[in-house]
Amino acid sequence: MFWQIFTFEISYRLKRPATYLYFIAFFAIGLLCFSSGSTPATEKVYHNSPVVLAQFMAIFSMVMMLVCSAIMGVPLYRDIEHNTSGYYLSYPVSENGYFWGRYLGSFIFVVLIGTSLMFGAYFGSLLGPAFGWVPAKRIGPNHLVNYLQPYLCIAVPNLFLASSVFFGLVAITRTVKVIYAGSVLLFIAYLLSNFLVSDLENKDLVRLLDPFAVNTLDLEIRFFTPAERNTLLVPVKGLFLYNRLIWSGIGLLLLLVTRFTFSFRNFFGGKLRKKIVEEVAVGKTYIARLPPVSISFAGGYYRKVMLNMAKIEYLNITKDVYFRAILLGGVVFLVIDYWIGDLTYSVGTYPLTVNLMAYKSYNYMLFIFIILIFYTGETIHRDKTTRFATINDALPMPDWVLYGSKLLGLSALALLLSTVPLVFGLLVQLFKGFTDFNFPVYFTELYLITFPQMIQMIVLSFAVHVLVNNKFAGHAVGILIWVLMFMLRNYGEMNYNLFFFSYAPGYTWSDMDGIGHMAKPVFWFNFYWLLFGGLLLVIAAAFYTRGIVTSAKERLAVARARFHGAIRIVALTLLVGFLSAGAYIYYNVSYLNNYLTSRESEERQATYEKTLKKYENLEQPKITSLKMNTDIFPEERKVLLKAWLKVVNKSPVIIPALHLDGTGIESYEVIYNGKAIRANYPLIYKRGKFNLFRPANDTAKYRIYQLPAPLKPGDSALVEINSVSAYRGFTNEMSGTDIVYNGTFFAVGLPSMGYNPDGELISDEKRKKHKLPEKKDEYPPQNDPKGIRTLLFNDDANLLTYDITVSTSGDQTAVAPGSLEKKWQKDGRNYYHYVEDIPVDLFFDVVSARYSVKRAQATNYGRTPIDLELYYQANHSKNTDRFLGAYKDGIGYFSKTYGPFQFKQMRLLEFPKYRAFAQSFPNTVSYAEGFGWTADFSDVNKFDYGYFVTAHELAHQWWGHQVQPNRTRGSNLVSESLAEYTALMLTQRKYGKDNMKRFLKDELDRYLSGRANESKKENVFVNCNRPYQWYNKGSLILYGLQDLIGADTLNKALREFRDEYAGRTEPPFAGSKDLYRHIEKHVPDSVRYFLDDTWNKITLYENKVLSVTSKPTGKKDEYKVTLKVSTRKFYADSAGNEKPAARMNDYIDIGIFAAESKDKTGRTLTVPLALKKYKLTAGTHTIEVIVKGKPVKAGIDPYVKLIDRIPDDNVSDI
Amino acid sequence: MQLIISSLSKTYPNGVKALNNVSLTVNQGMFGLLGPNGAGKSSLMRTIATLQEADSGTVTLDGIDVLHQKQEVRQLLGYLPQDFGIYPRISAEQMLGHIARLKGIGKKSERKELVSALLEKVNLAKDKRKNLGTYSGGMKQRFGIAQALIGNPKLIIVDEPTAGLDPTERNRFYNLLSQIGENTIVILSTHIVEDVRTLCSDMAIICQGELLYTGGPDAALSELDGKIYSKTIHKDEIYLYREDHKIISTQLKGGQLNLRTISDTDPGYGFVQVPAGLEDFYFSRIAEKADVVTL
């Protein structure tokens, strides 16, 4: 029996065009992705490398959930839908044969369609290089196993799981709607793992939780270097294997449970509802007439009817159990996202309304999107699906009542869904004891931004469903439109929002600046799309079908007949409104502003380099003193600058011309020695193709000013610069976040001198496309004479003093580096005069906002007091003591250890959330709103990153501002690695070693994933050129070094280094090898290998505990612990190819730990019973240690001081 | 009240001519529409009920252009489609109340009274609070009847209304209809010829989209008076009769076939004259278009 059913199913499937369409669709996806090189591979990874293939299969086998639902949902439901039970039951069909025949007959197609991924990817990898869409060197060798392994280990289990879930759910519930709920359910598990993966602590859980292994896979391969990605298959072992087994097991279990609960009787006959048993009708009293009724359609009767029907539509949706299930899913995520939010080093923030409004888009809006798309279709087709339409359509309400009621019901739904984030937001805030509700933010976000966006989603689906007039085709077309837009934006490099329905520029809510200047574009785009939506609705209304439509021609005729009178006027009005709004947006985006596609921006980068590279080594004068007046107009988003510069030719050659690059400045003019001078414009760009009304030649702000008299070596001149920096109108995407209504943080507006190599294209693939030579290194070698005499952060000056007068609006405070000499008010504006009389880098910003100020004092070593000032948003006062504490502790410790603090004051200034970093200027640190000001540090076991980051920025006053790095390879480590390391040591002094574990783990993780995603080559540390090297590796290896040679010894070296370079106003400036030289002096021969390994090589360890046992020795409270550990050391080349170290005999910690205890603040403490360095060679070692106290844990390098590929297996429970 | 259909035509995209130049006048009272499956009955009724466009022709109801003034027609219309669905999770009472509102009965008390009277009439009063999804086929049909009667319709169109009803309910329904039909137009489609005979003052027969007859049942019967002959033969012998006689119906009973033929004169061969029924008339007209020999 099985066989007949099975083959019937196969021949049924073979006849369905959909079967082939699914195959073709996914084949095409594979073909497109791989032939166009749209894969997540970084530049040194082959597009068709085993890892990329695995990622591709994981993601798209998840997307194939849609195919699974379409194919696996129907085989059983077909019989219910077509009511074949009557005769099917009478056939001699066995339940087993029926069940498995239908299942396997369908599943085999799912598996076959799944192979389309392999074929698509394979042919894509051949086609891409053949047609030149992808450079040939980006395609590696194609091995069958690279395709088959991920297909079998990832794709097939995913397809099996989804297929079993859908098949089972339909068999059990006897409806197809359950598929939506099933999809959502599977999706929830995936989203949950997506959510959890953001925190380092949950990685193992995520590995198991992701039903499609997408995150599991990403975790498995996250430390794979480019070389490994190109050659290694994803190892199917450990948690990855368990994930596959668990989820396939769940699929199988579900299938078996379904089979055992399945019976023909229940499935076909089993009635979910009880039918009324009819009684024999008996004659009833004869009522002669129906009671008289008054019928009138006059007045607002139809309107009332419409409202009533809208209510029914609304209730129909909200009472639906599947609706409730999906919404519940959304709400669960909403609450989780609200509750946990964004984590930084596992630390969350207080539930600020501005934060919650961002969190709601993480997952909730996705559920809402599904609900709106799905239920719009349901609502439109409800009458037809239930076949009530045959009665309904002949009832005497006009079309607009029918149409309008559905629209209104859905709008009410949108209103409900917009209100949910408000209600749960308030609840979460209340539960967390947070009462600073920001209702204006709630209302603006939810009812003025989110609600219109939901309406836009509804309107598009609505119009599509009405026009397509078929539920499933309508869904398909509707989803296709969204997918298409998504693809074009993400892979097609298109983002011109005027052409993407419902898209608007992004925005961020902040406590400091609200929605700021983004309110206007968001409003205008929403308005524009609502008008378009209205237009769609009117057009769809003309095509709205009532009764039976027999042909497209007839529909068109009806539509044409309907399209007259009022409807025509409305349509025309909407069209005019839509076009006007569009014109206004265009005027802002493409006329007032200069919109460029990403390709155009790239082209401009290339043109800049091609045209101006020849000026790179041109000598330019240096600024030696600077006086300026700068006026900030926050409400106009404008900054005016008047600057007087003294420049001196410090080079050995004559300088005939001044090269100024004013990129980012609206306009500027130059007066040289009291006279205006004329400029040449060597660089002219083509007009952006979207900006039809801008001048055809877009003159770049790179200017060459021929000097009236050439500047001879040693000559000086006075240069006056007047500049305007302003943001006019709005742009296609969020921009101009440095000059805002409240919280301006702006780099003044001085043009820079000469060619700027930082603007060059980095990617060699892109460079090749633009016929530019490969770019191996950003900076010259450490002994480059020009590099040594140039500063890293600014090549326009050596150290200088300056004098700034800054003004801002009357309600704001403006701050610039230096001592505040004077402040006054004039014409309702605030003026401040700052003087920096200690020579500093030409590297500063001005800041202006409505600030609260908190003051304190720190003591410089040598007992001079330092004024501390904290400028912050009034309601962000929770963590101010942490920031001040870091300043006090830091100034005390650093000044004693590394040399005195050089300024009289130190400031910390909050700036809006638009940007998330902190930056250290001379005696001034700008620190982003979202980076600790509102973090919740109440858990004492969490890492106090507010303290740490402040310490880091403070440390830059020594490393960066006392010791200035030069412009040679790797020199940034002088600034960043030392700041990171010294801040780490300061934080460790305050919070203890235990508290640093989480941080070090994070540093290691960032270093390993940084090098894994390296798109060029990994440099050794002394040549470091990437953040993951100078921050993360830097702090790790310096921490490791102080562990070997002692913190004091290392500090001594740093002190000597600082003493050599601090406060140098003239070259030579410090490079990475200068620091190395000082450190090397203090490293004993026995650990020289470590210094060499970490600075001059890329070294990795693989330390692992294999087993631990413990036995009481017989003496009281004494145990013998036996550890079996293995260790290996590798050297990696710049591509990530690893070779075992030839000789290894390295110091590695072996630690035995008792149970954790808590100190009096509740902080967890690890209790080491023994912690000792052993000299270990590569291989397995058995180590015996006798300890006092009961051991519970032991391991090798338990604090992960070495760079270990897999740090999680270093410690084991006893 | 008069409904005038003239030269109504409709061809479906697949080429089927659902209505072919149909002209018909329907007066107040019950009007029976007879025809085999697929004859175009439902197409005609849907067109009158404003649910379907016609290719050409006109339909007027007391001066209202039915094909274009749909709104006006719908305000006068009571329609029971042949095939309709219900919202399963709503009670008959609520649903009828809702429809009454849509039909312009603005007062809640009136709606309530009307709905309960209707439920009484269609014998659903007892189950009025139960969800429609739990109704049996017959109950659903009676619900359909009740909704069609809401709002004093002047034009009632009922498509195969008695399908699924037991004989008692059928009678009950017909009584109800004839009572209402006194001052309204009721168009009733059915394939039970006898029902038309008992209920309708006027009737029409259509087949393959063409109007074959329109007039009163009595007039139709008198046309056949004395022209129907019958004979019982063995079923294998049918070929002997097909050529020479105008067979209008055949009925098989225990291997014997009962033939009915129409003839102005005695056909001989053992045929016996029998009293004519409306069914004979129906078959005789249909026979022009379709093969009525059902073997």
Which of B12, B51, B110 comes nearest A394 by C-beta?
A: B51
Rounded Cα–Cα distance for residues A795 and A754 (Å):
9
Tell me which of A71-85, A320-334, A399-413, A934-948 is least confident.
Answer: A71-85
Q: What number is the average pLDDT over the span A625-635?
A: 95
Residues from chain A contacting residue B152 (CB–CB below 8 Å): 293, 295
* pLDDT tens profile A1200-1214: 999 998 888 899 998
* Per-residue confidence (pLDDT) for residue A274, from 0 to 100: 52
Q: What is the CATH number of domain A851-946?
A: 3.30.2010.30
B118 near A CB under 8 A? yes
Considering only the beta carbons, identify the residue of A291, A386, A547 that sits closest to B87: A386
pLDDT in tens, B171-208: 888 888 877 777 789 999 987 888 888 888 899 999 98
Chain A CB contacts of B102 under 8 Å are: 305, 309, 395-397
User: Cβ contact (<8 Å) for A394 and B104?
Assistant: no
* pLDDT computed for residue A276 by the predictor: 56
A546 and B51 in contact by Cβ < 8 A? yes
Predicted pLDDT of residue A217: 93
pLDDT at site A1193: 93
Whether residues B174 and B231 share a domain: the answer is no
Give the CATH number of domain A958-1096.
1.10.390.10
B12 and B113, same domain (yes or no) = yes
By Cβ distance, the residue of A275, A296, A390 closest to B136 is A275
Which among B89, B101, B123 has CB closest to A308? Answer: B101
Nearest residue in chain B measured CA to CA from A272: B134
Beta-carbon separation of A396 and B75 below 8 A: yes
- The residue from B215, B232, B259 where one domain ends is B215
CB distance B219 to B47 below 8 Å: no
Quick check: A1065 pLDDT over 90?
no
Contact call for A281 and B106, based on CB within 8 A: no
**Does residue A1095 carry a pLDDT above 70?**
yes
Partner residue facing B75 (CB), from A280, A291, A297: A297
Q: List beta partners, residue A1170.
A: A1152
- What is the mean pLDDT of the segment spanning A526-553? 92
Interface contact A312, partner B, CB < 8 A: yes
Share of chain A above pLDDT 90, in %: 71
Contacts of A482 (CB under 8 A, 6+ apart): A373
Model confidence at A272: pLDDT above 50: no
Q: Within an 8 Å CB–CB cutoff, is residue A587 touching chain B?
A: no
Mean pLDDT of the residues in chain A: 91
Residue A325 confidence (pLDDT)? 86
Q: Do residues B127 and B237 share a domain? A: no
Q: Among partner residues B74, B114, B169, which is closest to A394 by beta-carbon distance? A: B74
Instruction: Tell me what pLDDT residue A279 has.
Output: 53
Q: Do the chains contact at B147 and A391, CB–CB below 8 Å?
A: yes
CA of A400 to nearest chain B CA: how many angstroms apart?
12
* pLDDT at residue A702 tops 70: yes
B68 and B199: one domain?
A: yes
At residue A686, the pLDDT reads 92
Task: Suggest the residue from B67, B72, B87, B156 to mutate for an interface test with chain A (most A CBs closer than 10 A).
Answer: B87
* A347 within 8 A of A943, measured Cβ to Cβ: yes
Identify which of A953, A957, A907, A922 has the alpha carbon closest to the alpha carbon of residue A1062.
A957
Which amino acid belongs to residue B95? M
Q: Which of B182, B215, B248 is the last residue of a domain?
A: B215
What angle separates helix A1047-1061 from helix A1034-1045, to the nearest 10 degrees?
Answer: 120
Task: Tell if the CB–CB gap between A396 and B102 is shorter than 8 Å.
Answer: yes
pLDDT at position A968 over 50: yes
Q: Is B123 in the same domain as B227?
A: no
What CATH architecture does domain A593-764+799-807 belong to? Sandwich (2.60)
Q: Which of A191, A500, A177, A210 is nearest to A366 (CA)?
A: A191
Query: Which chain A residues touch B12 with a CB distance below 8 Å?
Result: 550-551
Among A931, A986, A982, A942, CA closest to A959: A982
> Are B211 and B226 part of one and the same domain?
no
Note whether A390 contacts B149, CB cutoff 8 Å: no
Instruction: Judge whether B169 is closer than 8 Å to chain A, CB to CB.
Output: yes
Q: Are residues B138 and B234 in the same domain?
A: no
ipTM metric:
0.90
Across the interface, whether the CB atoms of B88 and A312 are under 8 A apart is answered no
Regarding whether B112 and B240 lie in a shared domain, the answer is: no
Question: Are B102 and B33 members of one domain?
Answer: yes
> How far, in Å, are A1153, A1187, A1188 from residue A1115 at the CA level?
19, 11, 9
CATH architecture for residues A1099-1214: Sandwich (2.60)
Q: Verify that B203 and B122 share a domain, yes or no.
A: yes
The CATH number of whichever domain residue B208 belongs to comes to 3.40.50.300
Question: What does the pLDDT average to over A449-469?
Answer: 95
Interface test mutation site (partner B, options A395, A546, A548, max chain B beta carbons within 10 A): A395
- Shortest alpha-carbon distance between residue A180 and chain B (Å): 20
B204 in reach of chain A (CB within 8 A): no
* Alpha-carbon torsion (A865, A871, A876, A882), positive or negative: negative
B147 in A contact zone (CB under 8 Å) = yes
Domain ranges of chain A: 2-269, 301-592, 593-764+799-807, 851-946, 958-1096, 1099-1214
Write the residue in A284, A295, A385 that is nearest to B105 by C-beta: A295
Residue of A324, A393, A399, A544 for testing the chain B interface, max B β-carbons within 10 Å = A393
Last residue of a domain, one of B198, B215, B232: B215
> Distance between CA A157 and CA A1097 in Å, rounded?
42
Higher pLDDT, B159 or B253: B159
CB-based contact B99 A391, cutoff 8 Å: yes
- Same domain for B180 and B262, yes or no, is no
Q: Which of A1092, A911, A897 is nearest to A983 (CA)?
A: A897
- Asked, colleague to colleague, whether A593-764+799-807 and A851-946 share their fold, the answer is no
Query: Do residue A391 and residue B81 have CB atoms under 8 angstroms apart?
Result: yes
Give the number of domains in chain B: 2
- Please count the other Cβ atoms lying within 10 Å of the Cβ belonging to residue A828: 8
Mutation to test the B interface, candidates A83, A277, A278, most B Cβ within 10 Å: A278
3-class secondary structure, A362: coil
> Could you tell me the residue range of the domain that residue B42 belongs to?
2-215
First CA to last CA distance, chain B: 44
CB contact under 8 A, A294 and B120: no
Q: Which helix (H) or strand (E) holds A183?
A: helix A178-196
Residue A287 has what pLDDT? Answer: 52
Q: Give the pLDDT score at A265.
A: 74
Integer distance in angstroms from the first to the last C-alpha of chain A?
Answer: 57
**Residues 545-564, chain A: which have Cβ within 8 Å of B?**
546-551, 554, 557-558
Measured in angstroms, the CA of A393 and the nearest CA of chain B are apart by 7
Q: What is the pLDDT of residues B25-78, one digit of tens each?
A: 999 889 999 988 888 899 999 999 999 999 999 999 998 999 999 999 999 999
State yes or no: cis peptide before A839, omega within 30 of 0. Answer: no
Is residue A257 pLDDT above 70, yes or no? yes
Average pLDDT over residues A135-141: 91
Helix segments in A262-394, DSSP class H: 264, 301-318, 321-340, 353-359, 364-386, 389-392
Instruction: Check CB contact of B17 with chain A, cutoff 8 Å.
Output: no
| Chain B residues 52-81 with a CB less than 8 Å from chain A | 52-53, 71, 74-75, 77, 79-81
B84 touches A: beta carbon within 8 Å: yes
- Comparing CB atoms, the residue among B81, B102, B125 nearest residue A390 is B81
B295 belongs to a structural domain: no
Closest by Cα among A296, A447, A322, A427 to A378: A322
Interface membership of A391 toward B (CB under 8 Å): yes
Which residues 282-301 of A have a C-beta within 8 angstroms of B?
Answer: 284-285, 287, 290-291, 293-297, 301
Q: Which 8-state DSSP code applies to residue B91?
A: B
Q: With an 8 Å Cβ cutoff, is A83 touching chain B?
A: no
pTM: 0.89
Report the chain A residue with the minimal C-alpha distance to residue B172: A283
Name the packing angle between helices A17-35 and A95-130 (round to 10°). Answer: 30
Q: Span A911-932, mean pLDDT?
A: 93
Answer whether B83 sits within 8 Å of A387, measured CB to CB: yes
Residue A285 binned pLDDT confidence (cut-offs 50, 70, 90)? very low
Q: Is A398 on the interface with B (CB under 8 A)?
A: yes
Averaged pLDDT, A1102-1128? 94
pLDDT above 70 as % of chain A = 98
- A281 vs B172: CB contact, 8 Å cut-off? yes
- Name the minimum distance, in Å, from the CA of B129 to any CA of chain A: 12
Residues B204 and B242 in one domain: no
| Per-residue model confidence (pLDDT) at position A278 | 55
What token pair was written down for B67?
């094909």
